[in-house]
Amino acid sequence: MWIAISGGLSTLSLVIVAAFNRAQRLVHNLANARHQIEVQLMRRHELIPNLVSLVQGAMEQERAVIDEIVQARVQAVSALSAGAGSPESDRAEDKLTSALRALMPMIEAYPHLSSLENIASLQEEIASTENRIAFARQHYNDTAAALNLAKDQFPASFFLRNAERAEYWQVPEGADIVPSARLAVGARVA
């Protein structure tokens, strides 16, 4: 009988330890997922000055768009200090995305720019970074869903009772308009 009781207590102890460890892993995974978004946003912020400097000389009449991108980048870098996913950061990143989307067709309008290897390479890097940002946001939402589900399940809910429900990353307005990959190789878009 004592063997059965001690075996049951051992099993219960293992279940409790496993639930606690899973809860802690979920909390840390959520924080990590948010930081991965910040890493990708910083990557985008670092690429933009290179693109702007390459195109601004040839696109003097498009100066307003270039200025908007530079200003949007400054605001996005500043807002990222509040943390990815904060309302301020989301607004700044949405503004930056819109500005970049306005620039890509303009680059195409200048055939000599589209044919430059540096421009094509930077466009490809930016498109790749946008994909990484989208993947990082998807991973964050998957992690948020796992944490929220665990908060609703016993015994993990016991260990997560003080943790806030994770907010899902919202799709920014206009996110359904993907920058054309054809621009990266200099093809014409109709």
Q: Taking a C-beta distance cutoff of 8 angstroms, is the pair 166, 73 a contact? A: no
Give the model's pLDDT for residue 186: 39
Domain extents in the chain:
2-185
Give the model's pLDDT for residue 62: 67
Give the model's pLDDT for residue 94: 86
Topology of domain 2-185 in CATH is de novo design (two linked rop proteins) (1.20.1440)
Q: What is the model's pTM? A: 0.64
List pLDDT tens digits, range 116-170: 667 778 778 888 888 898 899 899 999 999 999 998 888 888 888 888 888 888 7
At residue 184's C-alpha, the angle toward residues 189 and 169, to 5°, is: 95
Give the model's pLDDT for residue 30: 92
Give the model's pLDDT for residue 173: 62
